[in-house]
Structure 1
Amino acid sequence: MRAVKAILLALLLGWAFAALADVAVPQLTGRVVDRSGTLSSSDVAALSQKLSDFEKRKGSQIAVLIVPTTDPETIDQFSIRVAEAWKIGRKKVDDGAILVVAKNDHHLRIEVGYGLEGALTDVTSRRIIDEVVTPKFRTGDFAGGISAGVERMMRVVDGEPLPVPSRSVNFGNLENIGPIIPVTLFASFIIGGILRTLLGQLLGSVATGSLIGVLALFFVGSVGVAVIVGFIGFFLAFIADLFPKSTGPSRGGSWSSGSSSGGWSSGSSSSDSGSFSGGGGSFGGGGASGSW
């Protein structure tokens, strides 16, 4: 009996420590919550007013959260927990978005509700981060970067497309290519075999490379990685007939990614007098993350 009690106590203590390790989601006290002391009171007031005017005109809600760190939790995990707790956006419309900045980690994320995923797509969110927000962050202009990022998010929700990318393509962080390689090999030989049978060697290989490139762009958000992986997919699919045939082609395939959790605490908060609350919107992990 003592052994059973000891085991139960150990499990309870383990669960308790795990709960304490989770990052505490800050209370939603306004459209702008700054737990890092980065923004001045005038910055918070101006940004909150801008977001309030947008909500009155459009109906959609956008909020900003700045924290010192999410370590050891990833910003992706932390942001979706914030979204689930705050419920930004109207209920059943799900038209909310949150810009989350982990200042000390040099990480940020745009978390997008279901109802805005058609406008603030993963690729669009990543472009806003890379082209609008992080260039200002790198110069230490956090207030300017956040304001510009929020402004561009509102304009995209209003229906204004992003400018055409400059001719100098940003190849992003090429270390992201590592996790894509196994998927590229699988798609090149398995899916490529099916497409070559249907379309012929050349067209089937081109279709395989294009499909792999699009998938890489969707999941990684880097044009450079998408181009490289797409070319690799085309090349492998094109030369696949040089290798011995297997007993038969298999169909389908999937892959996914995961992340971990952790915690932080303390810091001051800023708000617009506690008069703001989420409207009950739902989130499913749409958006994009970045760093500077």
Structure 2
Amino acid sequence: QIAVVTLSDLEGQDKAMVAYEIGEKWGVGREKHNNGIVILIKPKTARENGQVYIAVGYGLEGAIPDAIAKRIVDYVMIPHLRDGNDYYSAVNAALDKLMPLACGEVSEKREFDGEDAVALGAFVLFIFAVFIIVIILSSINGGSTNIGSGNKGHKLDLWDIIVLSNLFGNGGSSGGSWSGGSSGWGGSRGGGFGGGGFGGFGGGHFGGGGAGGSW
């Protein structure tokens, strides 16, 4: 499972910590394999540099070490981001590099019990099939799209979350599913990310793997 998130403002927080917290709170990746990835983008503005970070779940740290994540950020994503803030091309190019690495690691570690063996067979057939879920959030009626606490939560703009989950991101279901949910988020002291109504993630965990950059 890969979550691609853009935030208009990091509110002074470190991009790495924000990305890890999103991954933990949303549970990106399967709990059994911790194979989630979060790509966080904070767009460039007239007053601030753009920021990007790739957070890698525990189970993928061997397949996608920090040095590889850094190269993907610096040499694959940032050139597109510098070129007129081409977010689509930046994310697409990053996925081209990340998906084969991630899939290879999970395939090696997958346990071949009944359910997983069936999922693996379907996975091989549909390895490149990806659901793109666009969760549209608006700030109508105030506050409902803020991530965090009080007035200092991270405000999500319209179209600013894209969740990419492969066909088997939801517990190995061969039919796949669309992840969606409400835009209400619980606050936590210090402006952290609270749990929300998004479904389709598998309870994965993050422990500090990944790398980022700016432009």
Pairwise CA distance, 1:71: 2.5
Q: Which residue of 2 aligns with 1:277?
A: 200
Equivalent residue letter for 1:157: A
In structure 1, stretches of 5+ residues that fail to align are 1-60, 161-261
Match of 1:103 among 43, 47, 64: 43
Q: In structure 1, what is the Cα distance between the partners aligned to 2:25 and 2:200? A: 11
Alignment of 1:1-292 (within 5 A): 61-104=1-44, 105-140=49-84, 141-159=86-104, 263-269=153-159, 274=180, 276-292=199-215
Once superposed, what is the RMSD of the aligned Cα atoms?
Answer: 2.1
What's the CA shift for 1:287?
0.5
For residues 37 and 71 of structure 2, the distance between their equivalents in structure 1, rounded to whole angstroms, comes to 15
Structure 1 segments, 4+ long, off by >3 Å, are: 269-273
Structure 1 length-normalised TM? 0.42
Query: Identity of aligned pairs, percent?
Result: 36
Deviation at 1:278, TM superposition (A): 1.2
More helix by share: 1
Map of 1:173 onto structure 2: none
Distance 1:115 1:136, change over 3 A: same
Instruction: Give the Cα separation in 1 of the matches to 2:156 and 2:104.
Output: 38
> 1:186-229 deviations in whole A, cap 9, x for unaligned?
xxxxxxxxxxxxxxxxxxxxxxxxxxxxxxxxxxxxxxxxxxxx
Secondary structure of residue in 2 paired with 1:284: strand
Cα drift, residue 73 of structure 1 = 0.9
Q: Count matched residues.
A: 131
Question: Partners in 1 of 2:179 and 2:22 — Cα distance?
Answer: 20
Residue 127 of structure 1: SS of its match in structure 2?
A: helix
Against the structure 1 CA distance between its residues 273 and 154, is the aligned structure 2 distance closer, same or farther, given a 3 Å change threshold? closer
Bigger proportion of residues as strand: 2
Q: List alignment gaps of at least 5 residues for structure 2.
A: 106-151, 163-177, 182-198
- Alpha-carbon distance in 1 for matches of 2:213, 2:56: 14
Q: Is the 8 A contact 2:7 2:154 kept in 1?
A: no
Counterparts of 2:156 and 2:102, CA distance in 1: 33
Between the aligned partners of 1:114 and 1:62, the Cα distance in structure 2 is 14
Deviation (angstroms), 1:264 = 3.0
Larger Cα-atom Rg: 1
